[in-house]
Amino acid sequence: SPSSSSSSPTVESEFSTSQPSQPSPALSAPGARTLGWGKRRGAIDPSDDLLDSPDTYGYCVYSHADWSYAYKSVQGEYEYDIDEVEGTVPASLAGGVLYRNGPALFERGGAEYNHMLDGDGYCLRFEFPAAAGGAVKFRSRFVRTKEFVEEEAADAVVYRGTFGTMREGGPLANAMDLKQKNLANTNIMAWGGKVYALYEAGRPVELDPVTLDCLGEVDLDGKLNPGMFISAGLPQVLESAMGMGGSAFTAHPHADPNTGRMVGWGWKSLVAQRSVEVTFWEWDDAWTQQGQTVHMLAGCEAAPHDFAVTKSWYVMVQNCLKVDPLPYLAGVKGAGECLVSQPEDPVTVHLVPRPAKKGRGGGGGGGAAAAGGVGSRGKGGFTISGSGIDISIW
């Protein structure tokens, strides 16, 4: 790792062709060659030449002011043609459509949201012309979920946000309220003629592929129950009445180029078992289900953010996190604020075999054996442990 001493030898920049005879001003600055360059990270003035110096690359030298627009609410929705293009639109985009999604509204009724990730989803659509020289058609729309429409009409925060946004009234107005807003702000999936705005703590929200009008939440043919994605092991009817027993869908499904399938997963937290139940699904481009696999992440309290797909396996890295639910139930914190890091825990990697496909051989291959270590076979699976990493193969 780089030395923290300011007297270290001058390091040649990746843009230099020879060793400089004198240290550059950036390298001579107090705190040079340390994270933040001797200042609190992000505290660099946006006009400081330090930001443009290759000497500082890799040292967390940046300005928070440069990121300010990431926290600024978008005013309005737009539709226009982009007819001025610098360079050339890649041929692979001709005749295609690009979608993007992210948080873009950060206050209601003058009250700022507690965290930018509580921002309401805002989708962009770029339609590229089939012939060179044509205009790119642009459209943007907020994801007008049921909750978004209610809050827009009330001009106030009506629903709790995952990352701490609360209704007015303090704990008394928020305690024991398990209903969270589906922010639909993390990703967007276009597959098989359908377009979904995704949020990993909620169900997919369907959008019109052309207008981006919100068509409402979907349960993927009955796969995702409504309600908070936690279960206490009570009868489904009772949990539904309490706003529990629901399932959420990953914000990061993956299209597998080897099979031509879309691979995604739903999840819910089983509180009594201190586990997360994950169900993987695979669909062809007509949304016909091609496979389903249920897997338990034992000892896991917070679902993974993402996963990987290989020819034979689903791969998940288990979060080293615990959940302290009392502040959430008491209306003091959001669900995301109740996550407690457990850095001393070993990393657990789950390898779950994919459904067999003709000519592919299915999961269960021996590729994971190269991980090494000492293994102990349990019911239905195999665990390899070593060097602070546990690999569970099922």
Per-residue pLDDT band for 46 (boundaries 50, 70, 90) equals confident
Mean pLDDT (the chain, rounded)? 82
Per-residue pLDDT band for 216 (boundaries 50, 70, 90) equals very high
25-55 CB burial, b ≥16 within 10 A, e <16:
ebbebeebbbebbebeeeebeeeeebeebeb
User: Ranked by mean pLDDT, which of 58-67, 178-187, 279-288 comes out on top?
Assistant: 279-288
Range with the poorest average pLDDT among 103-107, 329-333, 353-357, 358-362: 358-362
- Up-side HSE of residue 195: CA atoms within 13 Å toward CB? 19
pLDDT at 23: 56
Per-residue pLDDT band for 391 (boundaries 50, 70, 90) equals low
Task: Kindly report the backbone phi and psi dihedral angles of residue 245, in degrees, each rounded to the nearest multiple of 5, phi listed first.
Answer: 80, 10
Residue 196, beta-bridge partner list: 189, 206
Q: CA–CA separation, 340 vs 128, rounded Å?
A: 45
Cβ burial of 124 (10 Å; 0-12, 13-18, 19+) is middle
pLDDT at 365: 38
Query: What is the rounded average pLDDT of the residues 200-229?
Result: 94
pLDDT digits (tens, 9 = 90+) for 358-380: 544 444 433 332 222 223 333 44
User: Does the pLDDT at position 248 exceed 70?
Assistant: yes
Structure token digits, residue 51: 């930001």
Q: Determine the 3-state secondary structure of 147 from DSSP.
A: helix
Query: Is the distance from CB of 186 to CB of 101 less than 8 angstroms?
Result: yes
Residue 377, beta-bridge partner list: 382
How far from 286 is each of 140, 190, 191, 261, 265, CA to CA, in Å? 27, 12, 8, 10, 18
Q: CA–CA separation, 208 vs 214, rounded Å?
A: 7
Query: What is the rounded average pLDDT of the residues 315-325?
Result: 89
Query: What is the rounded average pLDDT of the residues 16-25?
Result: 50
Residue 63 or 154, more confident? 154
Query: What is the rounded average pLDDT of the residues 14-21?
Result: 40
Structure token digits, residue 103: 């948080």
pLDDT at 262: 97
Per-residue pLDDT band for 86 (boundaries 50, 70, 90) equals confident
The CB density around residue 65, as the number of other CB atoms within 10 Å, is 13
Closest CA to 383 of 372, 375, 367: 375
pTM > 0.85: no
